[in-house]
Every structure is written in C-alpha cells, then in structure tokens.
Amino acid sequence: MLASARVVASSFTEHHPGVPFFVLLADEVEGYFDPADEPYDVLFLRDLDIPDEPRFRFRLPQQPLSYAATPFLIAALLRLGYERVVFIKQESLVLGELASVAEALPSGAVGLTPHLLEPVVAADAEERELTILLAGVFNAGLVVVAAGEPSDRLLAWWQDRVYRDCRYAVVDGIHYEQRWLDLAPAYFENVHVLHDAGLNSGHWSLPDRDVAVVERAVWVDGRPCRLFRFSGYDAGHPEAATRYSSRLRTAELGDAGVVFERYREALLEAAWGETRAWPYAYERFSDGTAIPEVARDIYRRMEDVSRFGDPFDPAGDASLVTWLNEPADGRRPPSRFWFGVYEGRPDLQLAFPDVLGRHRRAFLRWTRSSGVREHGVPEGLR
C-alpha cells in the first residue's frame, strides 16, 4: 500500500539525507497518484528485467507478487551501479542509520537478519521456535547486499526459486520468499548473519526483547533500534500488534506499544485511509472480469504456458480462459478450471474419488452449489 511506502521512505530519508531511495510499485498508477510528486523514485515491475513479466504478474496474487519481486529489485539497483543496496520491506519504520551496516559488508556479501538471536527460554519456547522454523530462520524484511559475483549468484538463485514458488505453503516447506533464504548460508559464500537486536525488531521477537523509548529514541536490549517492523499490523485495528498472533496486544507491550502508535500516526498522515481503498491493477482480466486465485494457481502449476500469450487477455481460441473452460477429459464437464480446483483440494479428492467417472455428476452439483461461492468464480469460468 502506498501509505506504508511513504512512511518507510520518509523515515529512511530522515536518517539518510541525500541517499537515493527507490520504491517498487508492484501495481499500476492508473491516475490515483502522480509518482513525480512522491519524495522517492518509483520503479515498476517492467523496470526489473523479469523474464516474461506478464506471466510473473499473473501467476502470483498481490502480496506474494510484491514479495517475489525482492531479488529482482535488488539486482536491478545493483545493475544501476550502486555498490550497496539496503532492501526494506513495507510495514517498516527506519529509526536510525543503516549505512554503516551496508558499508561493513565486503564486496559480494549479503547480510541477513534472523528472527531470533538466542534460544527462547519462555514457557512456550518450543512452540515459538517451531513457528519460526515454519516461517524461516531469517526475516526478509531487511536484506543488505554488496555488489560482487557471490551476491549476484545468490540473487540469481533466489530469483529462480521465487519466480515459480513464492506462496504461503508451509506444508510444502515454502513461506513466500523468505523461507528460501534458510539455504543461502550453505549454498553461498559471504552470507553474513547480522546479530544486532536493533536491526530488525518485530512481533516475532517482542516477547524476548526489552524495548525502551527515551524521548524520540528507541532502544532494544540496550542497543539503538535502527529498523522496526510492523508485519501484519492493521492501522484500522490498532489494538492488535499483528494478525499473525492473537496474543500480542499493543496495550500490553509497554514502550513497544508507543512505537506502534507512532507508526500508526505516520500511516494516517500518509493517507492510509484513502490509499487502502484503491483497486489493484492486476486483479482482473483485461475485460474487467475478476481473476479467481485458483486460476492463478492452475497457471502456476503448468509447465508450458507459452501457447496462451498474455494470460490477462481472455479473448481468442488460444487464450487461457478459453482453455480453462474446455472439458478436462476433452468430452464433457467438468472443465479444466474445475478439474484444477479439484487437483488442488485433497478434501474434494476424498469426497469425489472418481471425478471424471462415477462421481462426475455429484462433483458438478458441488461446483454449482458451493464451489462458485467458495472460490469466487466469475460467470465466465462457471
């Protein structure tokens, strides 16, 4: 959302005057704002040299798309000639200088921040550590990269992995873009683990870290806080620190709650209420029909999609929509679309084991009675 980009950009500039700051818009402007009026440089997905960029945009929903663009954005900035890149994810507030962190990295190095810096000793230690293992050892909200051959190789590998698999599927070992980073220290040299409690504090570490606010300065475990993350925070529900944990209430976080309120005030000043209502450019086919998320997933699972051309264009005999509407067995319903829904849902496979045979009619009744509603299927794919 634009408001969070404005907040992180202005907070960065406050501590790094004169340092270029780029915001990636994984969306389109469509007249809602003028990039020239923003206090940062705006980049678009088409600026990042992403292979078959329409395919990349189609196969991922809005949030995973922005996450998957991370290694492409960092690589694009390095190609522009910058020797150091500090990547900061949305939902962040820069509270101190980060330049020294980047400058300390040797050429070709990548700096990663772990979710946890020491073993958890609370009563729920095992539960919390297992949760972190599902999400990934490292938090991708802050990634620091120095130009060089080793970091180029890491970014190329990361790009390849998230191009197809940037989704929330912890059963499959995937947590968007960041779970892949668990492998980075084993695969590549010059991967540095940044052991600084003030570099990337967020809801995952608050139960274990001492946050203190002294006038305007924020301290974490006695160290200056330089970046505070607000992953899963909703300014419309400020009582909750994050949607990822119902137990974390801002009123019970002590001085950390003050930081959350400061962030909320900044969001509201950055037109959070207005910008959150703006539509997402890639949520519809070119004729205005909504794209069901399952259609994206079917497309993502396919090996060869070159025959469809632009997946956003539903017109023509060779379009993706035409193919999805064709019978899965070449003769009669269900369509390839509904068979794709079936392939992605073990519960349906259990309920209708022979979906192209003796359970065909029962499955078709389910598509009409429940399937359309459960998957938000538009008229053109029913």
Q: Is residue 285 part of a domain?
A: no
Comparing C-alpha atoms, which of 102, 115, 197, 214 is closest to residue 151?
102
Query: What is the arithmetic mean of pLDDT over 153-157?
Result: 98
- Paired with 25 in beta bridges are 44
- Helix or strand (DSSP H, E) at 93: strand 92-94
Reply yes or no on whether the pLDDT at 183 is more than 90: yes
Shared-domain flag, residues 201 and 227: yes
| Over residues 127-139, mean pLDDT | 95
Condensed to tens digits (0 to 9), the pLDDT of residues 286-329 reads 999 999 999 999 999 998 999 999 999 999 999 999 999 999 99
242 and 302 part of one domain? no
Domain boundary at 223, 242, 275, which? 275
Domain that holds residue 319: 290-381
Residue 8 lies in a domain: yes
CATH at residue 184: 3.90.550.10
Number of domains forming the structure of the chain? 2
pLDDT at 140: 98
Reported as a pLDDT band with limits 50, 70 and 90, residue 122 is confident
**Same-domain status, 33 and 181:** yes
Burial (0-12, 13-18, 19+ Cβ within 10 Å), 248: buried
Vertex 183 angle, CA 177 and 186, to 5°: 155
Residue 106: DSSP 8-state: P
Helix (H, G, I), strand (E, B) or coil at 290: strand
Q: Is the pLDDT of residue 130 over 80?
A: yes
pLDDT in tens, 282-291: 999 999 999 9
Same-domain status, 298 and 268: no
| 281 in any annotated domain | no
pTM over 0.85: yes
Q: Is residue 131 part of a domain?
A: yes
Mean per-residue pLDDT of the chain:
96
Query: Is the predicted pLDDT of residue 1 greater than 90, yes or no?
Result: no
Same-domain check for residues 242 and 181: yes
What digits encode the pLDDT tens for the residues 11-50? 999 999 999 999 999 999 999 999 999 999 999 999 999 9
